[in-house]
Structure 1
């Protein structure tokens, strides 16, 4: 298997003999959130990204071991990497193009976009500069990818595709598990859990029967789902399921490691396995986009409620602090507020206080004024 993995990368390696190269080292940088170490699903090797290089590819070609490649060009999510070496007194360069698709903070899908033939491997182009288009000569097909899982990440599960939301009876390879069986995607809608006590046939190459959904793509009527196997002893930690819903049944095939173009959801050659699943119960969200809408609506309502609450508190505090208005003194009028004519005498219960003159109060002698606090 290891030799097959190496040969796969060699097939995708664009080896060019050149004196000029045409693409300068350090001409591009990788996105900041991919910097660090990632486990490649195809062979469990660790790739380490710096801002302008990637190491851990471990490709041996024409007796040359190639490990660290420099990023030399990019456009959008496409990146061209190059390994420089000297062989037979000739400067040589090996180019590879890939596309990086982010599925979550902890998962990327890597698509190889360099297609070559044996003749082109030995093609010598000593004077022609090599553009991104000449190296990235394959259109991106989202189905054909390998997974990159962030090293040490523990929470990598994302929502499984909505057509799987349910609990199922299933058969394996048409005849196995003919009685009761159970495959569940309702527990948290992010994982596939298989009950091996009901049927011991292995699903998805997981001895534990526990797999986390880490990303999927849809092409035509087929959904291609990549899952991460929780078994720490598994040789390969990723599995690809090709899935299609027909009437009220789910048809699915499993392939170890990576998804491939034209993987059928109804049949597959060994060691792949096929499954026919009949729902016992469904637990739909409808689809992932509605989950996002629901979350957005809930957040908006919470924000509106918080604003209204803040305004209510503000006005209540303002009202509490507002000074009270002093009562207006009653006008000296009759109880009936009837106007008094010049000939009438107005009678009130008020006592009129007359302040005596200083001379009268002292029999003609003026007394010095005292502070009111000293009066007895």
Structure 2
């Protein structure tokens, strides 16, 4: 729950002590419950404002009484603060523009004014961008990215109501430093952003109805007079719908006007219109993105190639080791003798039903005797039994397969050339 504070109990934020710069008031000095302006407020001279009522971050400040055309008057301010940092606040002006002023959102009333926060202020949950102002601690460093839409190098035209005042070469750099707008006065001396140097720093931005409202800070060393030169300027910016390389924008001192008096292509005096044309290859952000993407592509391609090379080497190594092992196994393989059979003579030998054929080692249709058959004929049967090693049969099939299909190893002679054997 937010409590109402009035009179002596109404105090300004503790961070405000000291000197600050306000968008539409210039230099101000805060104390516990007062704010003093260094320059004239509209045409009413420098004023001292006192905290009258406070509810949360919403404040009603009332000025000292002053004479204006012989009558006593008093000013009122309805401000709601939003903290950005210890040295920067946004304040929303919850009042209409005072009639017969350019853009002064302030209350003006005969004394006794009897200002009332509930009756006179228009606080709300969301404010229009032209109600935004900046409060900056004097001497504080500021750094905020300019809108991506204008991060590029441009040429420009400038029209303050009498046609283009920069018909020759021009240059606006928002690429070297994405937080700053730097106009080259060596090419066109017409001042931009109400600045003697043409150096502006982006401070605050908000999008609204397809346009960007941008508040910039004038980096001039000399304090602007808030008459012809101003510490803050507000731009309304929009990219051309048919040509994205063209940017439309208008400027107005201190703060933006409402969307009737100021758009990206028109504004009342002392505002001005600029048309920006990109003078280099694309927007800065896109250029950097393309560079990063190219670098990522190179790195990715290199990584894939390296992985493929390592995998290929591993496969070749594994294939080589496997092949050598198979070769060695096949080369040292010997055929195990089979159990002999009892037959009377070679002529009566039944090769079709013999174990020599049934075990798959010889063809039963061969016309030539095998070495085992010759040995049996000469020496008779043997009582020695031989133990089969079943896996050796598999080795023979594997070796035969390798020998036939791949020709990867030397021929392994597992039999005797029967053509050189004769019976004696």
Where on the TM-score scale, by shorter chain, does this alignment land: which range? 0.5 to 0.7
Is the contact made by 1:103 and 1:214 (CA closer than 8 Å) also made in structure 2? no
Flag the structure with higher strand content.
1
Structure 1 pair 142–101 and aligned structure 2 pair: CA distance change class (3 A): farther
The correspondence for 1:251, drawn from 226, 233, 248, is 248
Structure 1 pair 71–260 and aligned structure 2 pair: CA distance change class (3 A): same
Offset at 1:225? 1.3
- Paired with 1:239 and 1:191, the residues of 2 have a C-alpha distance of 13
Which is greater in Rg? 2
Query: Corresponding residue for 1:31?
Result: 13
- Paired with 2:75 and 2:275, the residues of 1 have a C-alpha distance of 45
Query: Corresponding residue for 1:8?
Result: none
Is the contact made by 1:109 and 1:145 (CA closer than 8 Å) also made in structure 2? yes
Offset at 1:71? 2.2
Structure 1 pair 86–147 and aligned structure 2 pair: CA distance change class (3 A): closer
Count of aligned pairs: 256
Query: Corresponding residue for 1:78?
Result: 58
Query: Corresponding residue for 2:232?
Result: 238
TM-score (norm 2): 0.51
Offset at 1:271? 3.1
Deviations 1:292-328 (A, max 9, x none): xxxxxxxxxxxxxxxxxxxxxxxxxxxxxxxxxxxxx
User: What SS does the corresponding residue of 2:131 show, helix, strand or coil?
Assistant: coil
Within 5 A, what are the aligned runs for 1:361-372? none
User: What SS does the corresponding residue of 1:168 show, helix, strand or coil?
Assistant: strand
Offset at 1:255? 1.5
Flag the structure with higher helix content.
2
After TM superposition, the runs of 4+ consecutive aligned structure 1 residues lying more than 4 A away are: 57-61, 83-87, 92-95, 115-120, 122-126
Structure 1 pair 93–165 and aligned structure 2 pair: CA distance change class (3 A): closer
Offset at 1:192? 0.3
Greater RCO, 1 or 2 (C-alpha within 8 Å, sep 6+): 1
Is the contact made by 1:113 and 1:136 (CA closer than 8 Å) also made in structure 2? yes
Query: Corresponding residue for 1:137?
Result: 122
Give ranges in structure 1 of 5+ residues lacking alignment: 1-21, 287-376
Give ranges in structure 2 of 5+ residues lacking alignment: 68-72, 101-106, 288-424
Query: Corresponding residue for 2:178?
Result: 189
Structure 1 pair 190–93 and aligned structure 2 pair: CA distance change class (3 A): closer
Offset at 1:203? 1.9
CA root-mean-square deviation: 3.9
Structure 1 pair 29–186 and aligned structure 2 pair: CA distance change class (3 A): same
